[in-house]
Amino acid sequence: MKIACIGGGPASLFFSILMKQQDPSHDITVYERNRRGDTFGFGVVFSDETLANIAESDSYAIAAIESEFRHWGAMDVYYRGRTISSDGHGFAAISRVRLLEILTCRATELGVCVKFETEADVDALRDDVDLVVAGDGINSGTRSRYASQLRPTISQGSAKYIWTATDAPFDRFTFIFEDLVFEDIRHSEDLVFEDIGHSEDTPHSAVQAHIYPYNDTRSTFIVEMAEATWERAQLGGHDAGLALGESDQHALEWCSRLFARHLGGRPLIGNNSKWISFPRVSCESWVVNNVVLLGDAAHTAHYSVGSGTKMALEDAIALADAMAAASDVATALKNFEAERRPQIESLQRAAATSEDWFAHVDHHRQRPFEQFAFSLFTRSQRVTYDNLRERDAGYLDETLHWFASQQPPSARPSTPGTPPIFYPFALRDVTFGNRIGVSPMAQYSAVDGMPNDWHKVHLGSRAVGGAALVMTEMTCTSPEARITPGCTGIWNTPQAEAWAGITGFVHTFTEAKIGLQIGHAGRKGSTKVPWEGEDVPLDSDNWPLVSASPLRYRGGSQMPAEMSYEQMDAVLDDFVAATHRAADADFDLVEVHAAHGYLLSSFLSPATNRRGDDHGGTLENRARFPLRVIEAVREAWPHAKPLSVRVSATDWVEGGFSRSEAIELSHMAKDCGVDIIDVSTGQVDPDGAPAYGRLYQTPFAEAIRNAVGIPTMAVGAISSIDDVNTVLMAGRADICLIARGHLVDPYWTLNAAIDLGRSEQPWPIQYWPGRTSRRREQVPDALIDRDLR
């Protein structure tokens, strides 16, 4: 087979090595436009898992690479004069120049022709060879040439960073955070570099360094900060006119000064080092006929979860395996992409979450350092509470001890080692026995708004199942506030009395608390129940809709009227009346639904609020009516009981409601007496494109919690005990609301207690025998006999 590889980077070289191992008769040529030994960057880092994959594919190459590896297992986080370490992570790094030289030598030794200082014409090559492998990097000419077929998406990250090196001694992954203090942001741009002791009221931002050693004398030293910080520090423009390979000396000197104490006064070393934003690359396809993209040409993932080199080498392995398994090139390329793409997309999701953490580090730095460090270690959501225990049990136990010390004495479980999930949590005079809640889930089973036996069993069984908080579905404040005819209501006394029967059951037979979510559907109302047609208007008996602006929810939806001031007053009165009824029905918590595109949410989002009056335009105006409702509900609700507000922290649409606005709104809500924010996202506009994935909404809860200083509840693809413990320990939220998990297992929390062997979780006396249902081998026979009597 005749193969041409464009680009002399790790992807092309390693693939050529693997193909020569499969069949020495393959005719393989690698075309590299630069001279041998020319490369930008410094060290490349690998996890132990990646090294195992490489070794299995080519033990000779990995032996040569390993002979020059710098290994370590620990990671340090340094901030404000303190350091926290976690061990057992397993990494190794090598100079990029040496890696390329080792791979080049191995390839040429096997008979690969490597042509340096040679431009490749992909159009000519594809007609002359059986396979073209384009590993031509982030600025791939191949990707540009076939953009119409590959359909790439290229965007820039929201932070600025610069890639440098240092000969200061570092022996492990080290994350250093320095505060950049703006002494008088109104009148000057004078900066002071401080690490501790400044006033929290002084405008300042964090700048971080990602550091790892790659040989005996040098370490990669990446400096990163939010773009707003970079602009405020006036760091742009100094690299104008620099030739390829030249570094921004102003940037190197500035960073050297900022991190001087950690560098021992040594200057940072440049190699084409300039301020850039991370390029996010993805392609709808990696293949055009007999041409395939590998590595950065096809996809990128932020350096904070690994290296592009790791992905490139693993791409090469996957492609070589696909070639070996298929009888023709077309089938091999199809199979390669089908198998490799899910892995890449999973890594890109983790990388995006990690990148986002660092880009918004100012949202995190107000929390205690122990929690700051744990959040950093688990930022990608691939490393978890249980995973850290496996890697470094000592570190996890120390952090758990710290977590326990932060709880009020009355809320500290007596059993040592209690995981975060089973810690009580108090809001005002209400204490939740653990950190699990049942998320509001619409049941569409009411008649004329009346809750019935279905709702009693649905909510009651989950309260029996151990959740500390069970939330009703959105319960409507008037008949016109409903989404569907099957929605529950609390607009009259009989409904309130029916709800009182349900709260009475919960309070009599369980230790759970029960919350009522109240809301108004707005433009999303007057539709069929979902199993008859989701978001489909009723065939008859429709009620009139109102919204912030006269915009349909989607094509075919009923047109709402723009809400008048008189209608706002009437709806506010409905919310207040519903709140009084909720108090009479003995609910423990009330939540105002201001998310998901319903009425209050429609005012908040620029995508749904096009008003030209004092209720449109700025966030202050858009929030005017929702805040009036929240204030009125707080006044009507008993002072001793907590008030929650659910928000969509992003619309997932360009120009829609954003995380920064959600943070600002949460500040306003806190000032109105709100005790906790229930943080969801999306469902505001049909064009929203959520970045679905495990725990995909928790970063928004984390940002609000720590930037605003208010408790949050997290939702969205939280499914395991490990997920919950990680979210809580990292300070991403204070309560985890689980929806789908509770639909299939009403006893989710009791089962968690069994799985963890915890006695803190109270059980209904009627269900005591169930405590030993899955742990007989660990339970004394006498206890089993007693439970079964």
Catalytic residue set: 598
Q: How far is CA 479 from CA 450, 485, 492, 626, 643, in A?
A: 11, 9, 10, 20, 23
Local structure of 245: helix, strand or coil: coil
* Residue 208, both tokens: 């971080």
Distance CA 488, CA 587 (A): 15
At residue 96, φ and ψ (nearest 5 deg) are -60, -40
Cα 426 to Cα 693: distance, rounded to the nearest angstrom: 30
**CA gap 651, 685 in Å, rounded:** 7
The Cα-based distances of 244 to 252, 272, 533 in angstroms read 16, 7, 59
- On the CB side of 582, CA atoms within 13 Å amount to 33
Count the Cβ atoms, other than its own, within 10 Å of residue 438: 29
What is the identity of the amino acid at 729? Answer: M
738: phi then psi, degrees, rounded to nearest 5: -115, 130
- Bridge partners of 95, per DSSP, are 43
Question: Tokens 């007989």 belong to which residue?
Answer: 776
Angle 265-270-271 from CA coordinates, rounded to 5° = 160
DSSP 307: -
| Number of neighbouring beta carbons within 10 Å of residue 537 | 17
Within 8 A by CB and 6+ apart from 398, the residues are none
For residue 661, give both structure tokens. Answer: 């606005």
* DSSP per position, 112-139: -EEESS----HHHHHHHSSEEEE---TT
Contact 590, 475 (CB under 8 A): no
3-state secondary structure of 269: strand
CB count within 10 Å of CB 189 equals 12
Cα separation, 519 vs 522, in Å, equals 9
Q: Quick one: DSSP state of residue 27? A: E
Largest separation between any pair of C-alpha atoms in the chain: 86
Q: Please, are residues 297 and 247 in contact by the beta-carbon 8 Å criterion?
A: no
Cα→Cα distances 692→483, 656, 689, 715, Å? 25, 18, 9, 12
Which residue reads 């431009």 in tokens? 119
3-class SS at 534? coil
